[in-house]
Amino acid sequence: MKKRTLGRSGLEVSELGLGCMGMSFGYGPPKDKQEMIGVIRAAVERGVTFFDTAEVYGPFLNEELVGEALEPYRKDVLIATKFGFRFEAGKQAGLDSRPEHIKEVAEASLRRLRTDVIDLLYQHRVDPAVPIEDVAGAVKDLIAAGKVRHFGLSEAGVRTIRRAHAVQPVTALQSEYSLWWREPEAEILPVLEELGIGFVPFSPLGKGYLTGKIDENTTFDATDFRNTVPRFSAEARKANRVVVELIDGMALRKKATPAQIALAWVLAQKPWMAPIPGTTKLHRLEENLAAAAVTLSSEDLRELDIATAGIAVEGARYSEGAQRWIDR
């Protein structure tokens, strides 16, 4: 597995990381813990050094899983986690990025992750009630105390990124980016390049849709959050098959899978991007990691760019409730 450096931070990660959320949260009931530990450790054995989690995934279950799975390999891997929510009776209950809360969350995350330092600590969602300068200052204090190494933001807009970076250099922005969600290209990516900030695309496989395994007849578990996403309504899934057909055509020519084409496309965009596809299955992990060996020529990339530019993807990527937490 090749390495990439996130911006000008010096933080070197495997070019493909592993998003661990779906092992405990979001895509149905939590999966078997021992099986998931096996998948995470298999990723380490295959060269993955960059693992993504968050306190809200569970809540708390995913950090515990990642901490246990990676404890034997801690000196060889990088763990990213996130703060930014508050909880009531074990349920997510809004945003909270008050500095004192950030520091409490960091201590709890350190315990769950079985480590003495968090490699990359993201603000999960921008909290409009707390100035971003105060948030950056709190993380700066944690870095000075040796409890955090790098500061990140997630789903933050240009103005927020600039204001945070002026207080504590931002190592990475994590936001959604894929062949069917290219909004960051307009304003976000140019600012990241200007400031030397790395980019960590989540959902590079379109929450599973770009693998070609989901169509309008697919049914999701009752606890799968895609049931609430307009882009995953049956009508939208049917309308958006044109995106999958486009990727599938390229995959046939390249003797690859649609998932590998979707990941190879992201990898080809910028050398300071490190996508974090998630999976709960060993064979899918191996399929995803093999995307690093798929080469897309400039002609291939131009073909995909032109074709996707002409497609109007149906449906919003978040429910109305979740959309209000996106900083733009």
Percentage of residues in the chain with pLDDT exceeding 70?
A: 100
CA dist 208 and 27 (Å) reads 10
Q: Is 90 exceeded by the pLDDT of residue 309?
A: no
Predicted local confidence at residue 324, as pLDDT: 87
User: What confidence tens digit (pLDDT) does each residue in 146-188 have?
Assistant: 999 999 999 999 999 999 999 999 999 999 999 999 999 999 9
Q: What is the pLDDT of residue 257?
A: 98
Which range (35-39, 97-101, 308-312) has the least confidence?
A: 308-312
pTM for this one? Answer: 0.98
Bridge partners (DSSP) of residue 278 are 19
Q: Which residues contact 192 (CB under 8 A, 6 or more apart)?
A: 7, 161, 173, 198, 199, 272
125, with CB counted inside 10 A (0-12, 13-18, 19+), is buried
CA distances for 308 relative to 77, 180, 207, 212, angstroms: 35, 8, 18, 16
Task: Report the C-alpha gap between 176 and 262 in whole angstroms.
Answer: 13
Beta bridge partners of 172: 152, 198
Of 57, 122, 209, 318, which residue is the catalytic one? Answer: 57
C-alpha dihedral over 188, 192, 198, 199, to 10 degrees? 10
Residue-level pLDDT at 321: 87
Residue 85: CB atoms within 10 A of its CB come to 21
Q: How far apart are CA 34 and CA 52, in angstroms?
A: 18
pLDDT of 328 strictly over 90: no
Element spanning 163, H or E: helix 158-167
Structure tokens at 214: 């989901």
Instruction: Tell me the per-residue pLDDT of 221-241, one tens digit each, with 9 for 90 and over.
Output: 999 999 999 999 999 999 999
Phi and psi at residue 52, to the nearest 5°: -115, 130
Instruction: Give how far Cα 90 sits from Cα of 6, 85, 87, Å.
Output: 34, 12, 6
What are the φ and ψ backbone dihedral angles of 3, each rounded to 5 degrees? Answer: -110, 160
Q: Which of 88, 38, 101 is nearest to 65 (CA)?
A: 38
DSSP state of 172: E
In the chain, beta strands by DSSP E: 3-5, 12-14, 18-19, 50-52, 78-83, 85-88, 91-95, 118-123, 148-154, 170-176, 198-202
Could you give all domains of the chain from N- to C-terminal order, each with its CATH number? 3-323 (3.20.20.100)
Taking the C-alpha atoms of residue 24 and residue 43, their distance in angstroms, rounded to an integer, is 17
Active site (annotated) includes residue 209:
no
